[in-house]
Amino acid sequence: MLSLSARRPIHLSMFQRTGSIVRRSALGSVFRRGISIQPMTPQENAEELAQQRVHRPNSPHLTIYQPQLTWYLSSAHRITGVALSGTLYLFSTAYLLAPAFGYGFDSNMIAHAVSQVPVWLKVPAKFIVAYPLAFHMFNGFRHLLWDSIHELTLKGVYRTGYSVLALSVLTAAYLALL
């Protein structure tokens, strides 16, 4: 039998203490539930649910995080990939189907149409077309560099990110001025 003396303190949990009164009061407070069930119509249930949702906290949104270069480059890589492949499919389909509908969509027609555009409009248009291609290409090289386990430090990731942006602008400007 355990004794609680002043000379030797014994630490027992409330479930290990002897005596049914202590055990009953401890278990009673643990297992007592304050749930009441009320019959409700579906409309009342929906209204109560809507009222409960008003008081719930919102989930975190991307706007609570500080934007970083890696987010932007990852998103831009995906967007340029979709845009480049969509453009390829669109022009390939147009090139294939144009003769069937009586339109001339060949390289001579495209060269003639581009020659009619003034230079002040042609250079920015070429830059707009060349930049996604250059960015996607250099960012793809960056991913291949990562796959070979190089530049995987935080400093290396940012260094290659800024390099991709600079090389993309320079390459697109060069291609636009050709």
pLDDT along the chain (178 residues), means of 10: 49 54 56 76 92 83 83 96 97 91 86 93 97 98 95 95 98 97
19 sits in the region (left: phi over 0; alpha: psi -120 to 50; else beta) called left
- pLDDT in the model for residue 137: 98
- pLDDT in the model for residue 158: 96
What are φ and ψ of residue 8, in 5° steps? -135, 95
What's the 3-state SS for 59-121?
CCCHHHCCCCHHHHHHHHHHHHHHHHHHHHHHHHHHHHHCHHHCCCCCHHHHHHHHHCCCHHH
- pLDDT in the model for residue 32: 64
- Structure-token pair, residue 88: 């390829």
- pLDDT in the model for residue 5: 47
3-state helix, strand, coil in the chain (%, to 5): 70, 0, 30
- pLDDT in the model for residue 1: 46
List the domains of the chain with CATH numbers. 75-177 (1.20.1300.10)
- pLDDT in the model for residue 16: 55
